[in-house]
């Protein structure tokens, strides 16, 4: 079996699967961008009253809103229940039969999906915003950190979603749990408002929970908030969560395989 080549091919399919819907992409980008403007003006009104709140300046906070809008789709922040649906319909048996690692297959597919959505859904809102606002863009060195941190963020995001989806082998309907994950990612994950403006205890908790690793920490790299040893520590937190969550996913799948009985066909 052609190991890496196989996963690259799966990722390529994941990319192309989403690239088919062009009109839907344009429609989605416009909506993400409009939301970005509304969010930006709310934060601008706040920052006029409290400049430098949470250590961010006006330019950074405007950039934050559009970049977080850009991360919504790549990080599947509105929820993702594809495995869950296949468990509910029984189609999952086909996936489990394949002579390929189950988790690796879905991760590769998700990497392809995210790669497409970074390009198609992530970049445009920021480009449009750059026409209307002065944005704080990363230096070349910071771009490298943004890429690494985003890749780790995707691993954490996938790790969380994969675990939630696997619960459907026990619960059948994991959509409620998936919505709970969305709630945590949106609020504690610093998507709706920067966690630096949270009350201190909540900020400290949010920084160590896995949700901020998904998109907020990559966005902080984008804003140039982490340098030197602090950058390494931040990437370390993300890497730790990625390993823990992906590892937990492997253990959970083992438990699934021990109890799984598929009915019908």
List interacting residues with other proteins (CB under 8 A): 21-24, 26-28, 30-31, 34-35, 37-38, 41-42, 44-46, 49-50, 53, 132, 173, 175-177, 179-180, 182-183, 186-187, 192-193, 197-199
Provide, rounded to whole angstroms, the least separation between the CB of residue 214 and other proteins.
16
Cα angle, residue 79 at apex, residues 233 and 217 outer, rounded to 5°: 15
Provide, rounded to whole angstroms, the least separation between the CB of residue 162 and other proteins.
19
Closer CB to other proteins, 73 or 166, in the complex: 73
Closer CB to other proteins, 36 or 111, in the complex: 36
Provide, rounded to whole angstroms, the least separation between the CB of residue 181 and other proteins.
10
Place of tokens 């990437």: 235
Residue 205: Cβ within 10 Å count = 13
From CA 90, how far away is CA 217, in angstroms rounded?
37
Place of tokens 């390929």: 100
Provide, rounded to whole angstroms, the least separation between the CB of residue 225 and other proteins.
19
The three-class DSSP label of residue 198 is coil
Provide, rounded to whole angstroms, the least separation between the CB of residue 207 and other proteins.
16
Closer CB to other proteins, 114 or 191, in the complex: 191
Q: 99 to each of 119, 132, 264, 265, how far by Cα in Å?
A: 31, 51, 22, 19
Burial classification of residue 215, based on how many CB atoms lie within 10 Å of its CB (0-12 exposed, 13-18 middle, 19 or more buried): buried
Provide, rounded to whole angstroms, the least separation between the CB of residue 33 and other proteins.
8
Provide, rounded to whole angstroms, the least separation between the CB of residue 114 and other proteins.
18
* Tokens of residue 214, six digits: 């998904």
Residue whose C-alpha is closest to residue 173's, from 88, 86, 53, 265 = 88
Closer CB to other proteins, 73 or 108, in the complex: 73
Closer CB to other proteins, 113 or 155, in the complex: 113
Closer CB to other proteins, 26 or 123, in the complex: 26
Closer CB to other proteins, 204 or 251, in the complex: 204
Burial classification of residue 1, based on how many CB atoms lie within 10 Å of its CB (0-12 exposed, 13-18 middle, 19 or more buried): exposed
* Tokens of residue 82, six digits: 């594809």
């Amino acid at each position: 079996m052609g190991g890496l080549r196989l996963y690259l091919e799966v990722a390529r399919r994941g990319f192309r699967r989403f690239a088919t819907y062009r009109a839907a992409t344009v429609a989605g980008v416009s909506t993400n961008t409009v939301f970005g403007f509304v969010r930006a003006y709310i934060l601008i009104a706040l920052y006029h009253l409290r400049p430098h709140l949470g250590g961010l300046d006006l330019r950074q906070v405007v950039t934050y809103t559009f970049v977080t809008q850009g991360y919504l789709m790549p990080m599947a922040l509105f929820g993702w229940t594809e495995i869950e649906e296949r468990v509910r319909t029984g189609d999952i048996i086909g996936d489990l039969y394949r002579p390929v690692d189950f988790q690796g297959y879905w991760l590769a597919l998700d990497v392809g999906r995210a790669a497409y959505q970074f390009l198609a859904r992530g970049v445009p809102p920021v480009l449009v915003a750059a026409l209307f606002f002065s944005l704080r863009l990363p230096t070349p060195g910071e771009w490298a950190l943004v890429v690494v941190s985003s890749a780790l963020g995707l691993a954490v995001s996938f790790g969380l979603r994969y675990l939630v989806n696997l619960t459907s082998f026990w619960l059948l309907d994991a959509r409620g749990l998936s919505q709970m994950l969305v709630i945590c990612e949106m609020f504690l994950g610093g998507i709706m408002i920067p966690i630096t403006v949270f009350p201190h205890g909540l900020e400290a908790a949010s920084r160590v929970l896995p949700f901020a690793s998904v998109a907020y920490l990559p966005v902080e790299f984008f804003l140039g908030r982490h340098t030197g040893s602090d950058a390494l520590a931040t990437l370390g937190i993300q890497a730790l969560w990625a390993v823990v969550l992906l590892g937990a996913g492997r253990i959970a799948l083992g438990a699934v395989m021990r109890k799984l009985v598929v009915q019908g066909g």
